[in-house]
Amino acid sequence: MEGNTTLVAAILGVVEGLTEFLPVSSTAHLLLLGEVLGFESTAKTFEVVIQLGAVLAILSVYATRLFGVAQQTPHDPDARRFFYSVILACIPAGVLGIAYNDFIKETLFNSLNAIAIVLIVGGVILIWLDRMGLKVRHDDAMRIPLGTAFIIGLFQCLALMPGSSRSGSTIVGAMLMGVSKRAAAEFSFFLTMPVMLGATMIDLYKNWDVLDLSAIWLISVGFACAFVTAVIVVRTVLDFISKNGYTPFGIWRIAVGVTALIYLNT
């Protein structure tokens, strides 16, 4: 990561924390902002690993609730169903992510114009979805049926294309399956933990030998900034979504995508 500074790493960490749990694509924001700031990381490891800071933010906010569910799992069918629903939803993207990890990082991560276009398309979809008036059949993120969870997991596979957004893909899939806006966002939170933890561990395993001390320092700074910012977002975003829906995020995606296309092609 030669030539990159601690300040830039901190800025990118804050952006990661702000965007990881919103349907706006944190990866797209990191890659596009990195292009503007001239930030380059070894094998794109910085962009992947700092997401672990956001994962720990979820764990810190939901620790008590998740610990309670874990205690109930041996004797409570509802607790076991929640556990199975998260596992089922993670399988499709997990399998494809492992199989195509190199292609995703070496090809898709470098297709900035395509990422900008995906941002715009995703924004249009969110606005359209907000106006559909879908019937709500499930309003508890911890009581989503297993079949519904698996279909949501299939939608999560769309997030393998940078710009589509992992949370955005799962939210769209969940709402189309009759999950309320708030529960869809919260279920996407829970899916973040195993998916991003697995992606981070695989990336570190593959690239540990090419990381130097400066890279580790910048990753640590970005990680810490992502954690602090993500805690704030997780504590506030569900109420915002309940009141305002997803249209504001759709408008933001379109604005960022259009701006990126203009910047990249002038």
Q: Between 84 and 43, name the one with better pLDDT.
A: 84
- CA-wise closest residue to 242 among 197, 178, 185, 164: 185
Residue type, 262: I
Kindly report the CA angle at 30 between 234 and 256, in degrees rounded to 5?
A: 90
Is the model's pLDDT at 166 over the cut of 80? Answer: yes
Is the model's pLDDT at 214 over the cut of 70? Answer: no
Q: Exposed, middle or buried, 79 (CB in 10 Å: 0-12/13-18/19+)? A: middle
Helix (H), strand (E), coil (C) string for the chain? CCCCCHHHHHHHHHHHHHHCCCCCCHHHHHHHHHHHHCCCCHHHHHHHHCHHHHHHHHHHHHHHHHHHHHHHCCCCHHHHHHHHHHHHHHHHHHHHHHHCHHHHHHCHHHCHHHHHHHHHHHHHHHHHHHCCCCCCCECCCCCCCHHHHHHHHHHHHHHHCCCCCHHHHHHHHHHHCCECHHHHHHHHHHHHHHHHHHHHHHHHHHHHHHCCHHHHHHHHHHHHHHHHHHHHHHHHHHHHHHHHCCHHHHHHHHHHHHHHHHHHCC
Residues 24, 26: Cα–Cα separation, whole Å: 6
Is the model's pLDDT at 3 over the cut of 60? Answer: no
> Which residue reads 């002038």 in tokens?
266
Res 184: pLDDT? 94
152-165 pLDDT tens trace: 999 999 988 888 88
Residues with Cβ within 8 Å of residue 185, at least 6 apart in sequence:
21, 167, 171, 237, 238, 241
44-73 pLDDT tens trace: 677 777 888 888 898 898 888 888 888 898
Average pLDDT, the chain: 87
> Which residue reads 């561990």 in tokens?
201
> Which residue reads 């810190």 in tokens?
60
